[in-house]
Amino acid sequence: MNTINPYVKSALVLICILILIRSESQAQDEGKKARLGLTVYPTLAWISPDNTGYNNDGTQLGIKYGLTADLRLFENDNYSFATGFLIHHTGGKLSYPTATGSLPITVPGNIESKYKLTYIDIPLAIKLRTAEIGYMRYWGLFGTELGFNISANEVRKETFASESNEEDRNADEINLIRFALVFGAGIEYNISGNTHLVGGVSYSNGLSNIISGDANLVENGVARIDENGETIKDGKLKTRLNYFSLHIGVIF
């Protein structure tokens, strides 16, 4: 895995804290230009492969949590720039053919991989809110999400005929950065003053490849091997991480 240098990780945390502190300071001094919140997001994620013979092998439940900030735009409460600093524990499952042997004999097999991933997520989105209707406002958002991988683990199960071997390993092939398109909608309920309960749903559509390396050449559902018994490669592996999330939080 391409781990983040500890100094880079510390710098990211410091930058986000400074942004949120500055936002809060502006809110106090200039009439609530920013709103801070604490939010928890249960998530349902899956890996979408684009290579022949590679398949999504199921969804994985996860959790995302942290600080959010809505920075008011155009001096209008209905428009804001939504960002934050969130920790996301997620993952997905992938299956694909493999093979061993010595030509002309090929012994086909299968690999099932379950990834457990942790990201620092920073949303960068535009949020639109309606005027208050009773005690409620409705909102929608559209934008991007930048994720920095800080932990990656893989449980890999290799099966040949009736024999299986399972290995728990560090997933060094996980790329450092994930980039995604995000959109969602929900409601805010005013409890008292500037305090609101927030609920909603969103979808994160992965745009960048999350796993580096080469894909096996698969023909008619069977991975091909060369004269040395090694699997033949067929270009770069292409995988994206997508997920739905449920928003539950409080904005101050």
- Segments making up each domain of the chain, as ranges: 6-89+118-155+170-210+238-251
Does pLDDT of 28 surpass 50? no
Q: What is the pLDDT of residue 180?
A: 98
**Residue 228: what are its φ and ψ, rounded to 5°?**
-95, 0
Does pLDDT of 112 surpass 80? yes
Q: What is the pLDDT of residue 16?
A: 58
Task: For residues 81-106, give the mean pLDDT.
Answer: 91
Task: Say which residue, 33 or 59, is predicted with more confidence.
Answer: 59
Does pLDDT of 57 surpass 50? yes
As given in the structure block, the two tokens for residue 153 are 């683990």
Does pLDDT of 15 surpass 80? no
Q: What is the pLDDT of residue 6?
A: 52
6-89+118-155+170-210+238-251 to CATH, choices 2.40.160.20, 3.40.50.2000, 3.90.870.10, 3.40.250.10: 2.40.160.20
Task: Say which residue, 66 or 23, is predicted with more confidence.
Answer: 66
Q: What is the pLDDT of residue 4?
A: 55
- % of the chain at pLDDT higher than 90: 65
Q: What is the pLDDT of residue 10?
A: 53
Q: What is the pLDDT of residue 105?
A: 80
Q: What is the pLDDT of residue 230?
A: 86
Task: For residues 10-22, give the mean pLDDT.
Answer: 53
Q: What is the pLDDT of residue 134?
A: 87
Half-sphere exposure of 117 (CA within 13 A, CB side): 35
Task: Say which residue, 228 or 25, is predicted with more confidence.
Answer: 228
Does pLDDT of 244 surpass 90? yes
Banded model confidence at residue 30, pLDDT cuts 50, 70, 90: very low
Q: What is the pLDDT of residue 5?
A: 53
Task: For residues 28-56, give the mean pLDDT.
Answer: 86
- Please state, rounded to an integer, the average pLDDT across all residues of the chain: 88
Task: For residues 192-220, give the mean pLDDT.
Answer: 93
Q: What is the pLDDT of residue 13?
A: 55
